[in-house]
Structure 1
Amino acid sequence: MKKTFILFAAGALLAGAACTSSDTTTDTTTDTTTETSEAATGNDMATGNKTTTTETTGAAVTITNMDDATFISTAASSNAMELQLSNMALQKATDAKVKEFAQMIVDHHTKSSQELQAAASQVGVTVSDVIMPMHQKMIDELNNYTGSGYDEKYMDLMETAHKHDIAMYEAKSMNATNPAVKDFALKSIPTLRLHYEMATNIEDTVD
């Protein structure tokens, strides 16, 4: 599970580096784990938070310094990935709790996608329906599973995706340039935490 998240976070940073032109720093850090913070207020990060840094053409880009446009693109891709995974789970999952969770994700992330588009319009950014390679990889992984193994893998991917989302949204809730983006990030954090907690609990039951 932790190895999957490390690879996922690293992929996110590569994607952020490709999309970001203005938010860079010359320092490079090396730790690859990100812990979720205790508060959804956006006033402070939890003690001990660590962020992955990926070096690209001499500039380091971290999950904590995505510009607003990069955040929007990454959040849109993550939403699309979670919607696709969950729609697949509604068809292929065998556990009733997994199917209920998948339906909740479809409902919540459909609404989140609409709210993200509204925030993006305030920034002058068009939300793309293109799924980034790091998110497409997770979709491809789930396609390799069937039966009870499918249920467990889906919940594992949901846990990983939401852990990453929480870290990304918490950072953006504190450093967004546009107020609409900040408000969207802050508003989304409690729901993302709920999804993460539920994914963790359900995954334990289908192991």
Structure 2
Amino acid sequence: MKNSYLFLSMLLFAACGSNEQKTDDTKDTTAYQADTLVNKTNDAANLDTTDVSFFQNAAYGGMIEVEASNKALTFTEHPGIKTFADMMVKDHSGANQKLKSLAEKKGYVLPAALPLSKVELIDKMNSLKDEGRNEYYLQLMVNEHQKAIDIFALASRSKDAEINQFATSLLPTLKHHYMEVKKLDSTYRLPKVNQGDDPIKISDRTKKP
């Protein structure tokens, strides 16, 4: 009987020790996870406000250029616009991924979707047809690349060496895109600037009935 009590006592002692070990392990894991989250938060908090602004604005610009170009590819029959839109999707999809990787490294989470005001810029093409959509797309790309060049030029002077290098490396590509779309714009849209009262000079005849 005494042996039974002794055996039972040993089992209870072992169980208590096991529970204590599990509790300690859980505490250690929780502490590790908390430390990881704190480090991510601290990394993002250490970013300059201009760097945070760069990440957000560059992400929005990149998404607009890809999404608008994908939409343009569904309707345009103009060879030059097709070629340009293809280049936009390829180049900016790659740049967007690099931007995301850099932002994650710095502890900043990029916006996953465009705000409504920017979605509406793209969706406006749905209310146009034929030449009007082509003209609107070109004007949108001119405007977006002007903004992108300014955004990346400012980031190329960042105190963060990696952000500085990233922005500097992409500026030539953005400037090339801008020159290409300006050429298209000057031959396709600008000769028709007096057609109508639309703010971007798209003729009323190009609107859907």
- Pairwise same-fold verdict (TM > 0.5): yes
The CA distance in 2 between the partners of 1:132 and 1:69, in whole Å, is 17
Residue number in structure 1 paired with 2:135: 152
Contact 2:142 2:182 in 1 (8 A): yes
The CA distance in 2 between the partners of 1:141 and 1:96, in whole Å, is 22
Match among 165, 178, 192 for residue 183 of structure 1 = 165
The CA distance in 1 between the partners of 2:168 and 2:115, in whole Å, is 23
For structure 1, list consecutive stretches of 5 or more residues without a partner in the other structure.
Answer: 1-20, 24-64
Q: Secondary structure at the match of 2:110?
A: coil
The CA distance in 1 between the partners of 2:117 and 2:173, in whole Å, is 23
Higher relative contact order (CA 8 A, sep 6+): 1
RMSD: 2.1
Contact 2:57 2:151 in 1 (8 A): no
- Residues 125 and 22 of structure 1: CA distance in aligned 2, closer, same or farther (over 3 Å): closer
How many residue pairs align between the two structures?
145
Contact 1:152 1:206 in 2 (8 A): yes
List per-residue Cα deviations over 1:48-93 (Å, max 9, x = no partner). Answer: xxxxxxxxxxxxxxxxx95212211111111111111000011111
Contact 2:155 2:164 in 1 (8 A): yes
Contact 1:84 1:139 in 2 (8 A): yes
TM-score for the superposition, normalised by structure 2: 0.64
TM-score for the superposition, normalised by structure 1: 0.65
> Are residue 141 (structure 1) and residue 124 (structure 2) matched?
yes
Match among 101, 105, 125 for residue 122 of structure 1 = 105
List per-residue Cα deviations over 1:10-56 (Å, max 9, x = no partner). Answer: xxxxxxxxxxx999xxxxxxxxxxxxxxxxxxxxxxxxxxxxxxxxx
Residue number in structure 2 paired with 1:108: 91
* Cα displacement (A) at 1:170: 0.3
The CA distance in 2 between the partners of 1:123 and 1:191, in whole Å, is 24
Q: Secondary structure at the match of 2:156?
A: helix
Higher mean alpha-carbon deviation, 104-113 vs 141-150, is at 141-150
The CA distance in 2 between the partners of 1:71 and 1:202, in whole Å, is 28
Contact 1:77 1:129 in 2 (8 A): no
Q: Which has the larger radius of gyration?
A: 2
For structure 2, list consecutive stretches of 5 or more residues without a partner in the other structure.
Answer: 1-44, 190-209
Greater fraction helix: 2
The correspondence of residues 1-207 of structure 1 with structure 2, limited to 5 A, is: 67-174=50-157, 176-207=158-189
Contact 1:120 1:127 in 2 (8 A): yes
* Cα displacement (A) at 1:135: 2.5
The CA distance in 1 between the partners of 2:65 and 2:135, in whole Å, is 15
- Residues 96 and 66 of structure 1: CA distance in aligned 2, closer, same or farther (over 3 Å): farther
Contact 1:22 1:67 in 2 (8 A): no
The CA distance in 1 between the partners of 2:79 and 2:186, in whole Å, is 14
Partner amino acid, structure 1, of 2:172: P
- Residues 66 and 163 of structure 1: CA distance in aligned 2, closer, same or farther (over 3 Å): farther
The CA distance in 2 between the partners of 1:81 and 1:97, in whole Å, is 20
Contact 2:55 2:110 in 1 (8 A): yes
Percent identity of paired positions between Structure 1 and Structure 2:
26
